[in-house]
Structure 1
Amino acid sequence: MAYLRQKGVDIRIARIFNTYGPRIRADGIYGRVIPRFMDQIVHEQPVTIFGDGSQTRCFCYVTDTVVGLLRLAAYDGCTGEVVNIGSSHEMTILELAKMIYAICGKEENLTYHPMPQDDPTRRLPEVLKAETMIRWKADVTPEIGILQLLQFGVR
C-alpha cells in the first residue's frame, strides 16, 4: 500500500486461504491438513484429529487459486484492493477426514489430540469481493480435488 500511496504503483493484495494441490508437503501442521490426512490414510496410519474435529475450514484447489490470482492481476479497477482468494465451501475437519477415507476406500482410524491453543474454531473467507470484482469463484470441490491429488500420488 505504501508504493501505491507514495509512488502510484498499481498494486493489488491477494489474501490466499487454505490452498492445496499436488506436491504440497504433508509434514508440518499449518495449512497442510489435506496432504497430511491423505499421507496418513494411504500409509495406513491413524489420522490425527485435533480437538473433536468440529473446527471448520474452507479448502481451495491450487488451479482455482491460480485463476483467482491471474484475474486479480489482470482486471482493471482493482488498484489498491485487498481480495480474498479462497473457497466458501466450509466443512469440519472431521468431515474432511471421513470424506478422504471414503474416497480412498479405507476403513476409518482416527486418533484425537488436544486442540492447539491458538487454533481457530472457524475459518471462512469472505469471497464476495472476488466474485463481484474479478468474477471469480472457486469451482473445484474438495471431493474432486482429493481425487486429483490421488492421481498425482501421495508423497
Structure 2
Amino acid sequence: MNRILISGGNGFLGSALVEKALKNSMDVTVIDDLSTMVDINIPDTVNLIREKVENFKADEKYDYIVHLAARPSPEDYINHPIETILSNSVGTNNMLEIAKKSNAVFMYTSSSEVYGDAAVIPTPETYYGYVNPNGIRSCYDEGKRYSEALTMAYHRKYNIDTRIQRPFNVYGPRIRPDGEYGRVIPRFVNWALKNDDIKVFGDGERTRSFLYIDDWVDATWKFLTGDNLSGEIVNIGSNKEITINDFAKKIISLTNSNSKIVHLEERPDDPKRRSADLTKAKKLLGWSPQIDLDTGLNKTIKYFKERLE
C-alpha cells in the first residue's frame, strides 16, 4: 500500500485530494493546524496530525508528499502575513526534507499568483511573472515563488522527483465562505442566497478563470501519479475568462437573488486578468477541464443553500 503525506489536507483542496487517495487505497497522513477551516473534512481513517507545517518533522517514510498548506484568501493572508510566508518557506523546506529522506514523489502546490499582473494572457508556465516583491500581497506571491525555487533546487541538487502545479481559482463545495477566509465565489454565492449586496472591488472589469474542484482533483492526480513528470511545472486551471461584474450577474441569475452589485475601493496589486494556458497540461497529462462554469456553480450553490437551511 502506498503512503501519502498531505500538508493542509483538511482544507478545501486537501480534503478533496484525501478522498481521491483513499479511493485509490492509499494510506493517508494529513498535517494541518486547522487554522483556515471550521469543520473536520476528512474521515477518521486518516491519520490527522494537528501541527503547523513549519514545525512538523517526521521519521516515517512516504511514497508521495503533497504540500498544500497555505492561506489562499487575500484578506486572510494579508491579515496573517508572517504565518503565510512561513508555511511557504520553512514549511516547504520541512516537506522537501521528508521527501528527500523518503525518496518520495514531491508535489508543490504553487499558485497562479506567481504570475502577478501578467502581460501574457492566457499565461504559459514559461512566463516569469510581474509581481510586487514587497507589496501587501507579497507574503503569499513571493512565498509561492520562493517555494518553487526551493523545490527546483532540491530537484537539481538531490535528484528528487519534484512536480509543481499552479492552480487557478479552484472552487466547489466545502470552500469556506465566511469572513476573511472567503474567496470570490463562496462570498458571492453566500451574499446572493441571503439577498445581500454583492461587493466588488474596483470597477469589476478585472477577469478571472474558474476551475471546478473535480477537474482540479483529476488533473492533480494525473500529475502526481504519472510517469516521467519529474521536474515539470504545470498550470491547472481554466482558459475561459469572465469579468467580475459578469460573474456577479451570473451568480445573481443562478440563485434567483434580489442582490445588488456595489463597488468598493480597488485592492492594491490586484491582477487585471487571469487565464491559464493549458497547452502543457493537455500535452503532458492529457487533461483539460470537463465541467463548465454554470454546472460547477449550480453544484456549489446547492451545497451552500443546504448549509444555510
| TM-score, L = length of structure 1 | 0.92
Shift of 1:108: 4.4
Q: Is the CA contact (8 Å cut-off) linking 1:3 and 1:9 kept in structure 2? A: yes
Query: Gapped runs of 5+ residues in structure 2?
Result: 1-151
Q: Is the CA contact (8 Å cut-off) linking 1:84 and 1:125 kept in structure 2? A: yes
Shift of 1:151: 2.2
Q: Is the CA contact (8 Å cut-off) linking 2:190 and 2:304 kept in structure 1? A: no
1:109–1:62 Cα change, 3 Å: same
Q: Is the CA contact (8 Å cut-off) linking 2:163 and 2:233 kept in structure 1? A: yes
1:2 pairs with 147, 153, 171, which one?
A: 153
Match of residue 231 from structure 2:
80
1:73–1:123 Cα change, 3 Å: same
1:130 aligns with 2:281: yes
**Larger Rg over CA atoms:** 2
Aligned partner of residue 12 in structure 1, secondary structure: strand
Cα deviation code 1:95-127 (max 9, x no counterpart): 111111111112341111111121111111222
Counting matched residue pairs gives 155
| Percent of paired sites with the same residue | 39
Show structure 1 runs of 4+ deviating over 6 A.
none
Q: Is the CA contact (8 Å cut-off) linking 1:19 and 1:60 kept in structure 2? A: yes
| TM-score, L = length of structure 2 | 0.48
Measured in 2, the distance between the counterparts of 1:45 and 1:107 equals 8
1:151 aligns with 2:302: yes
Match of residue 136 from structure 2:
none
Aligned alpha-carbon RMSD (Å):
1.6
Measured in 2, the distance between the counterparts of 1:103 and 1:20 equals 16
Match of residue 97 from structure 2:
none
1:120 aligns with 2:271: yes
Match of residue 164 from structure 2:
13
Cα deviation code 1:38-66 (max 9, x no counterpart): 00000110000111111000000111001
